[in-house]
Amino acid sequence: PNPVDQAMLKIKPKPFGDGSVVFLGRLVWQKGVYILPRLAKLLNHVIFHVIGEGPLKEWLLENKPRNIVYHGLIIGNEKFKLLKNASVVIVPSICYEMWAYTVTESFIAAKPVVALAVQKNR
């Protein structure tokens, strides 16, 4: 099965985007969710769209600054619209991932991805 919705291949990306940042994924520690409120406070003029569900949802809602917009789990055209209009996608995972679908979807939408380098414990 193909995890990428084929309808995404028909989207026309908005060059340079609207200045917003998208986080797309499960709201768990390993995905770096705890980084989002701190980063949003540093970049308080930037809108952060958070798409996803998970155990850290309540924590995020309690700790998010005003420039984080929480969308919950959305799929299809609504998700594609946010990706298409964003300027960048953030993937702050602190764990190794075999294949991040978020990165694939971001590239389909012609969006750059900012990701963390995972350090090997010594």
> Other C-beta atoms within 10 Å of 78: how many?
10
Give ∠ CA 100-106-112 in degrees, rounded to 5: 110
| Residue predicted with more confidence, 23 or 105 | 23
Q: How far apart are CA 95 and CA 80, in angstroms?
A: 26
3-state SS assignment for residue 47: coil
The model's pTM is 0.87
At 28-58, the pLDDT tens digits run 999 999 999 999 999 999 999 999 999 999 9
The DSSP call for residue 87 is S
At 107-121, the pLDDT tens digits run 888 899 998 877 666
Both tokens of 21, joined, read 């940042």
pLDDT at residue 4, rounded to an integer: 67
What are the distances in angstroms from CA 4 to CA 1, 8, 13, 66?
Answer: 9, 7, 16, 31
Where does residue 29 rank: exposed (0-12), middle (13-18), buried (19+ CB within 10 A)? middle
